[in-house]
Amino acid sequence: GEDVEQSLFLSVREGDSSVINCTYTDSSSTYLYWYKQEPGAGLQLLTYIFSNMDMKQDQRLTVLLNKKDKHLSLRIADTQTGDSAIYFCAERAGGGNKLTFGTGTQLKVEL
């Protein structure tokens, strides 16, 4: 079955890079996603990567995928206080429509 794991907390200083890690178990994952949840709000899609890619860059965001180790990471360059939120990784397995989410990583950005 699907299982997605993340560390619960990360604290960084403004201007530093943040790296949020995620591991998953389902080798049939086709797409992997990063969602952001701000306080009191729902989740919003940040970026995604197809399983045959190993890197994707989108402005300050860099996604790295190690398919052999089933490890996904999200790097946020020049982290700002507005980046403080909970970040979820999610996988979509096979051809299905079901998304399995990790537990979420709470990112705190300090001045």
Q: Is 99 one of the binding residues for other proteins (CB under 8 A)? A: yes
3-state secondary structure of 9: strand
Degrees, nearest 5: CA angle 103-5-90: 70
Q: Which region, judged by CB under 8 A, interacts with other proteins, from 14-22, 36-44, 54-62, 64-72?
A: 36-44
Check binding of 100 to other proteins (CB under 8 A).
yes
Q: Give min distance, CB of 46 to other proteins, in A.
A: 11
List 25, 30, 73, 84, residue binding other proteins (CB under 8 A): 30
**Is 98 one of the binding residues for other proteins (CB under 8 A)?**
yes
Q: How far is the CB of 19 from other proteins (least distance, A)?
A: 20
CB-based contacts of 62, cutoff 8 Å, min separation 6: 55, 56, 74, 75, 77
Interface of this chain with other proteins, residues 39 to 78, rule: CB under 8 A? 40-45, 48, 50
* Cα 56 from Cα 69, distance rounded (Å): 17
Q: Quick one: CA torsion of 20, 68, 94, 33, rounded to 10 degrees?
A: 20
The two three-digit tokens of residue 96, written as one number:
């299905």
Q: Provide the binding-site residues for other proteins, judged by CB under 8 A.
A: 30-31, 40-45, 48, 50, 88, 92, 95, 97-104
